[in-house]
Structure 1
């Protein structure tokens, strides 16, 4: 399909050069100058226009909350989400709570790694590029351990603070399942949306080339891990970038999902945190239902409050 994102050749070249200078792999950076949207992660999808709040009837927040509440009552468990409509700037929060991050923290870890690369001028090695790809696209925990050891947990927490996260505590250094394991970092939907927004819309913490690199990896998550925000029943015309996290705990199986949805008239970022009372498969159906309810509701824009 033809690329259609409104980005100029100059910006693409500048992003490529900036990325190459601090270690974005050559196969990625060299393609940015001529291939536009395909390398930034959304082939053939036109971005949703920026809408005035009065352009269309706006989303009924109370009705959306009622639909989500009904789904929660039917499924059981603990769940909460935040969605940010990039067409209007409107945000909607529903039943926010603090949860263990599981593998959603991997996006923040990668932000911290790329910031460290920028600050020190130390480019990623090919091994580290492979680790980053495996960490994001197939949720490889050994790759995460290696990158976190390199960047240091304190620098990941510092990156969280620079991004403006207010309720995220980064853990690290312990084995899986221990109190100091990175998967038991704690966070909220608002903080996770802030991370995704930074990667999608811009942040002074990392430059445009590195943001495009993260989005590229998030657009290529393996099919078996594309649920929640990237729920496969979404129409094929909807492009997604995502990272999920999941794992068992005594008070409910954690299933968390973050990402971006673009196309078919939508443009939003979202984070969903859940605790399933009946394990992974049941929880996956539950979180997919939440994502679909929000997607359907966003046929109408979310007006700013």
Structure 2
């Protein structure tokens, strides 16, 4: 059955990009330099936890704002966490949750997505299209989004109120749980649904392929979704979540940040963390084969839902 929704949105030019759902204030103050982070790592591979802990800590030394990190590598039974339950405004990272909720809801009635839903989902993930996200968010409604969060065990994620999906409150623990559902067989999402999410995350446009893929070896498949948002307090929120498989590893990585004075500062922070993680997990990859984002994150518009 096709759900019909009307989309009425006002679009305002701004310096912020996809995932921003309210007007931004100029001159937003970033947070001051954070104290040295305490990264916790465990691993089934001798020496790996200590190396990751040391290198992630070094990558974050002197960075301003607040950073949360989640890593899980199934192959070596490795995990790293930093500020695992600290909440952040989601910006466009929530779009993966919206897609998963849509597929979960369709699974309950054993139906395929309509062509309209598929078009909206593709635009939402690969181009971070705000209007497409608003249409799917309205179609689902907060009740269904919350139903998915409960089924997924994402107990600390709080949907944004009044249609402001970009202000959903997220954390590393729940983002890692979501990535786990996408990358491993489970009862919440079908195998076809998981493959569909990964296909779209693997097809993100080049200008939005920064963040967690930075430093990934060419032998590793990359699936990513980013989000960025500027607000009047705590500067820019910049996030990146990704799944990676190859080179003898199968891992998920979430890096959430806020308090960035500029968007690029947040991007640089995420990529500094990502590079050392990819290097530590797959150290044999030659430097020339490692991925370096070449595009500057694109500016877009602020979508403010009405009605």
Is residue 141 of structure 2 the alignment partner of residue 146 of structure 1?
Answer: no
- Distance apart, 1:236 and its partner CA: 2.2
Q: Equivalent of 1:265, from 243, 248, 251?
A: 248
Q: 1:296 maps to which residue?
A: 279
Q: Which has the higher contact order (CA 8 A, sep 6+)?
A: 2
SS of the equivalent of 1:245 reads strand
Is residue 118 of structure 2 the alignment partner of residue 129 of structure 1?
Answer: yes
Alignment deviations for residues 213-255 of structure 1 (CA, whole Å, 9 cap, x no partner): 1111111111111122112x43322211111111112212111
The 2-side partners of 1:125 and 1:69 are apart by: 46
Q: 1:16 maps to which residue?
A: none
The 2-side partners of 1:154 and 1:294 are apart by: 37
SS of the equivalent of 2:223 reads strand
Q: 2:229 maps to which residue?
A: 247
- Distance apart, 1:276 and its partner CA: 4.4
The alignment of Structure 1 onto Structure 2 pairs a total of residues equal to 241
| TM-score of the aligned structures, taking structure 1 as reference length | 0.74
- Distance apart, 1:122 and its partner CA: 4.5
Q: 1:88 maps to which residue?
A: 76
Q: 1:109 maps to which residue?
A: 98
**Is the contact made by 1:193 and 1:271 (CA closer than 8 Å) also made in structure 2?**
yes
Is residue 269 of structure 2 the alignment partner of residue 281 of structure 1?
Answer: no
SS of the equivalent of 2:188 reads coil
Alpha carbon RMSD of aligned pairs, Å? Answer: 2.1
- Distance apart, 1:258 and its partner CA: 0.9
Is residue 57 of structure 2 the alignment partner of residue 69 of structure 1?
Answer: yes
SS of the equivalent of 2:48 reads coil
**Is the contact made by 2:104 and 2:189 (CA closer than 8 Å) also made in structure 1?**
yes
Structure 1 stretches of 4+ moved >3 Å? none
Unaligned runs of 5+ in 2: 3-42, 284-307
State how 1:159-198 maps to structure 2 within 5 Å: 159-174=148-163, 181-198=164-181
**Is the contact made by 2:49 and 2:78 (CA closer than 8 Å) also made in structure 1?**
no
